[in-house]
Structure 1
Amino acid sequence: MLLFFTLGLLIHFVFFASIFDIYFTSPLVHGMTPQFTPLPPPARRLVLFVADGLRADALYELDENGTSRAPFIRNIIMHEGSWGISHTRVPTESRPGHVALIAGFYEDVSAVAKGWKENPVEFDSLFNESKYTWSWGSPDILPMFAKGASGDHVYTYSYDAKREDFGAQDATKLDTWVFDNVKDFFHHARNNQSLFSKINEEKIVFFLHLLGIDTNGHAHRPSSRDYKDNIKKVDDGVKEIVSMFNHFYGNDGKTTFIFTSDHGMTDWGSHGAGHPSETLTPLVTWGAGIKYPQRVSAQQFDDAFLKEWRLENWKRLDVNQADIAPLMTSLIGVPFPLNSVGILPVDYLNNTDLFKAESMFTNAVQILEQFKVKMTQKKEVTLPFLFTPFKLLSDSKQFNILRKARSYIKHRKFDEVVSLCKELIHLALKGLSYYHTYDRFFLGVNVVIGFVGWISYASLLIIKSHSNLIKGVSKEVKKPSHLLPCSFVAIGILVAFFLLIQACPWKYYVYGLLPVPIWYAVLREFQVIQDLVASVLTYPLSHFVGYLLAFTLGIEVLVLSFFYRYMLTAGLTAFAAWPFLTRLWTRAKMTSLSWTFFSLLLAVFPLMPVVGRKPDISLVMGAGLLVLLLSLCVVTSLMKRKDSFIKEELLVHLLQVLSTVLSMYVVYSTQSSLLRKQGLPLMNQIISWATLASSLVVPLLSSPVLFQRLFSILLSLMSTYLLLSTGYEALFPLVLSFLMFVWINIEQETLQQSGVCCKQKLTSIQFSYNTDITQFRQLYLDDIRRAFFLVFFLVTAFFGTGNIASINSFDLASVYCFLTVFSPFMMGALMMWKILIPFVLVMCAFEAVQLTTQLSSKSLFLIVLVISDIMALHFFFLVKDYGSWLDIGTRQLLACTAWLFMYISASPNRLWMLTDPGLDLNLLHAIRACISHYVIVMSMTIFLVFLNGLAQLLTTKKLRLCGKPKSHFM
């Protein structure tokens, strides 16, 4: 069986890796010729202000007194420049947003999976094409454009990351630091001849990254006074910088200013998804080469924003975020970034029609260059008779469009040039996507064939080795024909030869050849298949169809729950009715009523708003009081006992009571301190970390008797969970655990109802590390239900409060009891632990279910594996490589990894898989401010190995405070 687990692990790692090669390869190509407009640019220098996390409405709207929060920017809109909305593409995060702004393309997931702060893949940018670039701001953003830039001409000035303190008194100091350092820089330049000559060159860029608004938004939310006052601070700072530039350069009229944002922010202080508050960002431009304000009587936009902002009379020019990069390059006359897919917004330009037409033509040629390189690369590695070119943009059509555009320029038909070039750009972009996904169908078919084969083999193994379904059906065992292995060897050789002559990457050989041995293993069990068919035919057709429909419905509910949380409510409501649809109600009325009550109570959570949107500290304190009440009940029951180990047990539970009281105090005290803007008290921080560390040790001091150990685990983990909670989610582990306790009882009742004699009472069963229950019994049909319950509870543990399903609800306030200084790795690790605590509780309860039902963990694992793989196959067809991290990651959660945490949950040997020393680093990169749902899942599945091993450790390990080890527990 260990060999099967090992092979299964390897096979599924291949399925996991295939997603990267099918959906998440980098679309970037190299080898293009730089393209630039052959006419003099209007500006010598460009100043780019990026107010991180600034919503469009927050900048443009008037306050309650009818005045603007940014009077200088509003004056620019009305008297000096052009304005509009920059429509960002999800995921609305800082890195993708800045890449779109400065490099002109929308960063793909494969790049983010390889790194975050620096360039994980080589790409060209405005900064790289400039003569010199100076940048000031966050250490998280600036380095990724400096590293990899050709030559030594991109200079960065960053503050210490410790300045990003969400509990600090004033986050506007992040922006003040930038403005002050820019002023000092120019003051220093007057006395430094070398620097002075550099900043008087042409084709130079100054980049000011302003993080204060984003920090205040996360800490206090966009509706707060802090966020709005920060906008005023930024407006004042921009006014001073503009004045300084004009004075320094003698008002030469050769400076262009662009003010925008990388992304917006939701009302609850987060970003990452596609809500308009996140995707609508401001764009205000003025200076050299920028069109002056245009008064209009009507606009093309239907939304109500213009009237709310009282800007309906000033022409609004909207762009896509990637369009800003070609706009900036055309203004200072540098080559367009080689990988840019932005379309030049010519309406912003105040220049001759010839300049606009030539710039648009250059933009089209630059994107067409990418298309040509991509087509050539794909054509070189594809057999001629298998290569299908992109028909909408043939060589002749390219030539005709370019020739016609040149003719229009010659005859001064500039509007026709712009229109024709836009058509060429759209066709080239479609062609880029076509060739980028050229191999997707071939790879997808191979993975699906392998997936189906694996599911079939696992199902046959269950039937053959762990059930009585086919026992006695077949009277003789037929040996497989020698023709079968020869046929599969021939198929493998043909596949390998086909890949070889196309010079495919080595990974393609893995995906193409993997289905061959899998299906060989399936067809070797042809006798089992025959016996299964014969056995099924002996059952009434209505029973078979009924079981199949129930199983299919259950799978679909689980799949839909990944998109619609209320499906968990539907499933839990069905669970509540389950005892009344069976004979359980007549056998165990109190247990059935308890099951129904807690199922319905748990069903409420998926209907509530996702965690983070509406914090309520009183609910956290209420949950703490319930934990205290539960602790006191346990202590009272212990005091009634009369055994020699009562003192040690009492000490353990008193420690847990003290831990709960301290957690409640820290939550309340920290909240009060942050409201007063006094930061996180050091003592609170020490208590929080000590509570987190002790929560994994204290349960090991308690008795290994089943319910006593489970209660101890719950009480210890709840202390940490309270410290990480901001609202109603603090109640979730309590309700989930109570349902788990009832599940343990009700599963033993169902086992007795089916006629299996239970060897021990629940009150006397102990967790033991060496317990071996594989000899107890074979699988019954009802064990499929048990496996389904486990899968459902695991999904509920993850999605019940919206922590994973709504990754955009991530609230930094959840970790304020531990730290407030921005530390993405540490904050992400704490948030991940909070998310996984309910999962650990389910795993610990499942350890008890296996004991009480005398069920083999190996056999149940196989059922769970089949269920999760069916779900994974379903999700495989829903994977997409665009959208928010939520859109991408949700489909990946099962497509690549659901099988793994199910695999670990039932496997008796888990810790052996923890062999990768890079797992922690991968996890930390994945959690980076909860930005990449996809990467979180990618790392989390491996991390779950540790958590499930921890669940087994928490239930079976026993530590002694003093004295000799116990030989028996009551």
Structure 2
Amino acid sequence: MLLFFILGLLVHFVFFGSIFDIYFTSPLVHGMTPQFTPLPPPAKRLVLFVADGLRADALYEFDENGNPRAPFIRNIIMHEGSWGISHTRVPTESRPGHVALIAGFYEDVSAVAKGWKENPVGFDSLINESKYTWSWGSPDILTMFAKGVGGDHIYTYSYDAESEDFGAHDVTKLDTWVFDHVKEFFHAARNNQSLFSKVNEEKIVFFLHLLGIDTNGHAHRPTSREYKDNIKIVDDGIKEIVSMLEHFYGNDGKTAFIFTSDHGMTDWGFHGAGHPSETLTPFVTWGAGIKYPQKVSVQKFDDAFLKEWKLENWKRQDIHQGILPIDYLNNTDLFRAESMFTNAMQILEQFKVKMTQKKEAILPFFFTPFKLLSESKQLNILRKARSYIKQRKYDEAVSLCKELIHLALKGLSYYHTYDRFFLGVNVVLGFVGWTSYASLLIIKSHSNLTRGVSKEVKKPSHLLACSFIALGVLVAFFLLIQDCPWTYYIYCLLPIPIWYAVLREFGVIQDFVLFVLTFPPSQLVAYLFIFTLGIEVLVLSFFYRYTLTAGLVAFACWPFITQLRTQAKSISLSWIFFSLLLAVFPLMPVVGRKPDIFLVMGAGLLVLLLSLCVVTSLLKRKDHFINEELLLHLVQMLSIVLSMYVVYTTHDSLLKKQGLPVFNQIISWITLASSFVLPLLSPTRLFERLFSILLSSMSAYLLLSTGYEALFPLVLSCLMFVWIQVEQETLRQPSVSYKQKVTSLQFTCSPDITQFRQLYLDDVRRAFFLVFFLVTAFFGTGNIASINSFDLASVYCFLTVFSPFMMGALMMWKILIPFVLVMCAFEAVQLTTQLSSKRLFLMVLIISDIMALHFFFLVKDDGSWLDIGTSISHYVIVMSMTIVLVFLNGLAHLLTTKKLELCGKPKSHLI
């Protein structure tokens, strides 16, 4: 069994990693011939202002007094330049947005493994191609364009990462720091001949990254006064910088200005997904080579923004990040046509390199070229486009170049995903084989469903073994001659031994089929229908949280179709009540949208009230353990009170812009650390240990809560306590002759394996309940498949300075706490039902693998990035569930069975 679990873990790591090899590979191509526009550019220098986290509506709208929120930018729109909305793409994060703006392509998805902070693959960019670039702003953004770049033509000036403090009194200093240092830089340039000559070169870029708006949005929400006032500060700062630059360069008319944003932000202060408030960002440009404002009477946009912003008479031109917006250019038609022709050639070069790479790696008779863009068609389009330019048919040339770009991009996608179907088939074969083998192992070793003869070890057929060995050699040879990556060998060869293990159990398969045929057809259909319906509900809950509500309502009705309603009325009523109460949470909005500290306080008071009831019951007991238990409960109650105090005072301090109090920060970290230790000091009696785990978990969870979610683990734990009692009541098997009371049971490190029983059909339901409760822990208070479900305010009791990895770890622990509570309850269920954890875990493994297979088929590689990213994250979550369950099971076993003894305590006091 140990060998099986080790192999199973390795197999699931392979299946988990396959999604990155199939979908998370870099689409970037290297080795192209550079392409250049033959005509001189209209501007010598570019000044790029990027207001991080700025929404389009927040910039363009009027304030409460009817005045423009950004008067300088509005003046540019009306008198000097062009404007529109930039449509960003998912993931709406700072790094992908800046890569699209500066490098001209949508983010390399393999960067997700680096947390959007590092360059997994080198790429070219506007900054890299410049003669000189000077940039000011956040170290996270500036360094990614300077890292790995040869030469010394890129200069970055960043403030300390500690300056990005969400709890600071005034975070607009992140923007004023940039403006002040830019002014100092140009003042120094006047007195430094070397620097003066550099800033007067051609092809130079000044990049100003402004993070204050984003930080204020996270800390106070985009509807706050802080966020809106920060926009005015940015507007004033840009006005000063523009005036200074025009004076410095003597109004030579050779400077182009762009003001935009990398992404927007939701009303609740987050970004990452595809909500319009996250994807609609402002784009305003003026200066050399940019069209002047164009007055129009009718516009093509049918949204209500234009009238709301009072910009319906100024032509709006929307753009998409990463695509050359030639309609903004104020130049000759020849220049526009040549620019599009160069752009088309650049993308066509990428297509050619990608096609050559794939063609060289595949046997000629297996290679299928992209038929929509053959070599003859490429030459034909290029010849026509060049002919149109010579004939001064510039619009026709631009149109033809856009068609070529469209076809080349489709071709790039075709070759990038060329091996996807082949790899997918092999992964599915491995999936189905592994699930089949795990099912056969349960039937053979842990149930009474087969005849005794099937459990005898039989030698596999030599012919079968030789056939699979020959197949493996053939597959390996096929991959070798095509020079495939080493991971391809794993995906293609892994199904072979798995299916060999399945087919060698042919006798078990026969016995199981005979057993299934003993069921009446109607009963068999009913079992299959219920099982399939349960799996589909679990799958649908990843897309629609409210399906969990439907499932919990069905759970509440369960006692009515069993004997529980008559043999355990009080337990049945408790089960119904807490199932319906828990069913409310998936109907609530995602955590973070409406923070309410008073709900957190209410959750803490309920925990204290419950603790008082337990303390009262302890005082009624008369044994020598009472002092120890009472002291521990009082310490844990004090921890709850301190957590409530810290949450309330931290929230009040941040509202007053006084930052995070050091005392609160110390108490928070101590409470979090003690939450791992205090449960180990409690007795190992089932109820006492589980209640101690709940108190310690709640003290940490309260510190990480901002609203109603603080009630979630409490309600979930109450249902888990009832579940333990329900499972003991439902255990009515002939082999179980003795049943202890739940209150007298103890967790033990080495359970008596002689008390374990074989699996029964009802154990499938128990395994399903566990998976359902785990999925409820996933989506009960939010959708962790979407990054904007997280609320950074939930970690403000621990730190306010931006630290993505530390904040991510804290939020991950917040997510894991409900999992730990469920897994600890599962330990108790195994104890009360006399069932081996290994046997029940095997059924959980099969259920989660069936779900994972669903999501593997539901993975999308077309449509919006939101659809693609969500489908991939669902698969990753389910695959992670199987792997993480091993860790959680070990953690739950540690929390429930281990006991720390205080120094000097006599051994006679051991429980």
The two structures share one fold, judged by TM-score above 0.5: yes
Structure 1 residues 774 and 466 mapped into 2: Cα distance closer, same or farther (>3 Å)? Answer: farther
Secondary structure of the residue aligned to 2:286 is strand
CA shift, 1:765, in A, is 0.8
Match of 1:643 among 623, 629, 632: 623
Does the CA contact (< 8 Å) of 2:299 and 2:315 recur in 1? Answer: yes
Contact map agreement 2:111 2:118 (CA 8 A) in 1 = no
Cα deviation 1:924-951 (Å, max 9, x = unaligned): xxxxxxxxxxxxxxxxxxxxx2x44322
Aligned to 2:897: 956
* 1:458/1:862 contact within 8 Å kept: yes
> What is the aligned partner in structure 1 of residue 649 from structure 2?
669
Aligned residues of 2:855 and 2:875 also touching (Cα < 8 A):
yes
- Residues 895-910 of structure 1: pairs in structure 2 closer than 5 A: 895-896=875-876, 898-902=878-882, 905=885
Could you report, residue by residue, the CA deviation over 1:186-219 in whole angstroms, capped at 9, with x for unpaired residues? Answer: 1111111111111110000000000000000000
Moved more, 162-171 or 593-602: 162-171
Q: Which secondary structure state, in structure 1, belongs to the residue aligned with residue 492 of structure 2?
A: helix
Given the alignment, which residue of 516, 533, 556 partners 1:576? 556
- Counterpart mapping for 1:597-746 below 5 A: 597-746=577-726
8 A Cα contact 1:562 1:890, kept in partner: no
Partner of 2:854: 874
CA distance in 2, matches of 1:718, 1:46: 54
Q: Does 1:104 align with 2:104?
A: yes
Q: Give the Å deviation of 1:658.
A: 0.7
Q: C-alpha displacement at 1:108, in angstroms?
A: 2.8
Query: In structure 2, what is the Cα distance between the partners aligned to 1:820 and 1:903?
Result: 32
Residue 544 of structure 2 corresponds to 564
Distance 1:754 1:104, change over 3 A: farther
Counterparts of 2:351 and 2:366, CA distance in 1: 19
5+ residue gaps, structure 1: 324-343, 911-944
Pair 38,885 (structure 1): closer, same or farther in 2 beyond 3 Å: closer
Residue 74 of structure 1 corresponds to: 74
| Counterpart in the other structure of 2:8 | 8
- Other-structure match for 1:165: 165
The residue identity in structure 2 corresponding to 1:179 is: F
Is the 8 Å Cα contact of residues 132 and 205 (structure 1) preserved in structure 2?
A: yes
CA distance in 1, matches of 2:819, 2:327: 54
1:406-805 equivalences under 5 Å are 406-472=386-452, 479-752=459-732, 756-773=736-753, 775-802=755-782, 804-805=784-785
Which deviations, in whole Å up to 9, do the C-alpha atoms of 1:721-747 show, x marking residues without a partner?
111110000000000000000000000
Partner of 1:270: 270
Q: Which residue of 2 aligns with 1:179?
A: 179
Q: 1:157 to 1:68 in 2, by over 3 A?
A: same
State the alpha-carbon separation in 2 of the partners of residues 774 and 820 from structure 1: 53
Supply the distance in 1 between the matched residues of 2:458 and 2:137 (Cα, whole angstroms): 73
Give me the whole-angstrom Cα distance separating, in 1, the residues matched to 2:252 and 2:900. 77
Contact 1:268 1:809 in 2 (8 A): no
State yes or no: 1:839 paired with 2:819.
yes
What is residue 403 of structure 1 aligned with on the other side? 383
Q: Say if 2:848 and 2:881, in contact at 8 Å, map to a contact too.
A: no
User: C-alpha displacement at 1:774, in angstroms?
Assistant: 6.6
Alpha-carbon contact 2:785-2:873 (below 8 Å) kept: no
Aligned in 2, Cα 1:869/1:967: closer, same or farther, shift over 3 Å? farther
> Contact 1:473/1:535 (CA < 8 Å) preserved in 2?
no
Per the TM alignment, residue 474 of structure 1 is displaced from its structure 2 partner at its CA by 6.2
Question: Are the equivalent residues in 1 in contact too, given 2:430–2:498 (CA < 8 A)?
Answer: yes
* Partners of 1:121 and 1:893 in 2: CA distance: 22
SS at 2:48's partner residue? strand
Q: Secondary structure at the match of 1:877?
A: helix
CA contact (8 A) 1:48 1:258 kept: yes
Question: Deviation of residue 285 (structure 1)?
Answer: 0.3
In the TM superposition, 1:218-297 aligns within 5 A as 218-297=218-297
Distance in 2 between the 1:233 and 1:774 partners?
74
1:322 and 2:322 correspond:
yes
TM-score by length of 2: 0.98
Displacement after TM superposition at 1:472 (Å): 4.8
Query: Secondary structure of the equivalent of 2:259?
Result: strand
User: Against the structure 1 CA distance between its residues 773 and 108, is the aligned structure 2 distance closer, same or farther, given a 3 Å change threshold?
Assistant: farther
1:307 aligns with 2:279: no
- Give the conservation status (yes or no) of the 8 Å contact 2:12–2:883: no
Q: Which runs of 4+ in 1 moved over 4 A?
A: 472-479, 881-890, 965-970
Q: Taking every aligned residue pair, what percent have the same amino acid on both sides?
A: 84
Task: Give the 5 Å matches for 1:844-863.
Answer: 844-863=824-843
Cα gap change, 1:761/1:309 in structure 2, threshold over 3 Å: closer, same or farther? same
Q: Is the 8 A contact 1:563 1:805 kept in 2?
A: no
Distance 1:686 1:541 in 2: 64
Please state how far the C-alpha of 1:91 moved relative to its aligned partner. 0.7
| Distance across 1 between alignment mates of 2:126 and 2:730 | 68
Deviation at 1:901, TM superposition (A): 3.4
Deviation for aligned residue 1:895: 2.7
Q: Which letter maps to 2:317? A: L
For 1:636 and 1:478, the matched residues in 2 are separated by 61
1:152 equivalent in structure 2: 152
Quick check: 1:773–1:854 contact (8 Å CA) kept in 2?
no
CA distance in 2: counterparts of 1:269 and 1:797, whole angstroms: 24
* SS of equivalent residue, structure 1 residue 234: helix
8 A Cα contact 2:271 2:787, kept in partner: no
How far, CA to CA, are the matches of 1:455 and 1:836 in structure 2? 26
| Counterparts of 1:755 and 1:487, CA distance in 2 | 43
Q: Secondary structure at the match of 1:37?
A: coil
Q: Give the CA deviation at 1:750.
A: 0.5
Residue 371 (structure 1) aligned with residue 319 (structure 2)? no
TM-score (norm 1): 0.92
8 Å CA contact retained: 2:785, 2:874 = no
Q: CA RMSD in A?
A: 1.7
Return the alpha-carbon distance in structure 2 between the equivalents of residues 475 and 594 of structure 1.
Answer: 42
Alpha carbons 1:610, 1:806 under 8 Å: kept: no
Give distance in 2, aligned partners of 1:223 and 1:472.
Answer: 70
Aligned mates of 1:840, 1:685 — CA distance in 2: 24
8 Å CA contact 1:612, 1:811 repeated in 2:
yes
**1:697 Cα shift?**
1.0
* Equivalent AA in structure 2 for residue 901 of structure 1: M
Unaligned runs of 5+ in 2: none
Kept in 2, the 8 Å contact 1:847–1:952? The answer is yes
Which residue of 2 is the match for residue 351 of structure 1? 331
For the 8 Å contact 1:82–1:293, the answer to whether it is kept is yes
In the TM superposition, residue 480 of structure 1 has moved relative to its aligned partner by 3.2
Do the aligned partners of 2:111 and 2:117 also contact (CA within 8 Å) in 1? no
Distance in 2 of aligned mates of 1:729 and 1:176 = 37
Distance 1:775 1:649 in 2: 30
Deviation at 1:150, TM superposition (A): 2.8
- Kindly provide the amino acid, as one letter, of the partner of residue 598 in structure 1: F
Q: Is the 8 A contact 1:127 1:154 kept in 2?
A: yes
Residue 900 to residue 253, structure 1, CA distance change in 2 (3 Å): closer
Are the structure 2 counterparts of residues 301 and 495 from structure 1 closer, same or farther at C-alpha, using a change threshold of 3 Å?
same
> Would you say 1:818 and 2:759 are equivalent positions?
no
Matched length: 911
Shift of 1:769: 1.2
Q: Secondary structure at the match of 2:281?
A: strand
For the residue of structure 2 that corresponds to 1:95, the secondary structure is helix
User: Is the 8 Å Cα contact of residues 272 and 885 (structure 1) preserved in structure 2?
Assistant: no
Q: Which residue of 2 aligns with 1:127?
A: 127
1:380-399 equivalences in 2 (<5 Å): 380-399=360-379
CA 1:393 to 1:249, structure 2 compared with 1: closer, same or farther past 3 Å?
Answer: same
